[in-house]
Structures are given as C-alpha cells and as structure tokens.
Amino acid sequence: MHELGIIVHITKTLQSVAKENHLNEIGSVTLEVGEVSSIVPDYLTDCWAYYRKKFPLIEKAEMKIEILPAVTYCEACGKTYPTVQYGRQCPHCGSWDTYLAAGDECNIREIEAC
C-alpha cells in the first residue's frame, strides 16, 4: 500500500506550508488524483484518517479528493482522447504513437487554513 507513503509526503508538505505561513491548524486539503495514477482513493482516505491523528496541525483536517481524467495525446494526428475508454491506440487515426498527457498525477490543489 503506497497510499500511506503518499500521506506521509503530503503531511510533510503541509507542515512546511504551515510553517512558512504561520498557521497553527489546517482545516482541509484538496488533492487532485489522476484516474490512472494507481492510487486507490479509499485507501488514501483510510490512511489520512489514521495518520492525521499524530499531528495537531492536521488532526481535524478534512481531505477532499478530486479525480482527474486520464487523457492521451496522439503524436500522429495531434488529437487527445480519454485513455481509459480507448487505451493506447488512437481512436481517431489508429496510430500507436501516443503518450499519456494527464491522469497519472497526485497534486495538492488547495490547503484551507482554520
């Protein structure tokens, strides 16, 4: 389960942001999680519920997760398409000369202070 490692990293980032901005408590954090990131949102939520209890800064903080769609770009025709629906082969021109343009990320989008 790599979700706990992600939560540890997010917590360190939140601590750093709180220190830089003189915050004593964080009310919520919003994450953007890519559709094909291999992160399981329910596991992430469970790890957050467990790990936040160890830090007064975030022990009451809510974690919100927004799922970002996976998008593939085709080098041959220059079009994008939904990765999960069509896979690696471009549905527009049939080319395999494609790459994942979005959908494998995990970002902190917003931090709300109390």
**Binding region:** 2, 74, 77, 90, 93
Question: d(Cα 73, Cα 82) in Å, to the nearest integer?
Answer: 9
Residue ranges of the annotated binding site for Zn(2+) are: 74, 77, 90, 93
Question: d(Cα 39, Cα 62) in Å, to the nearest integer?
Answer: 18
Residue ranges of the annotated binding site for Ni(2+) are: 2
Residue whose C-alpha is closest to residue 112's, from 33, 30, 52: 30
Handedness of CA 17, 15, 109, 104 (dihedral sign): positive
Tokens 């994942």 sit at which residue?
A: 100
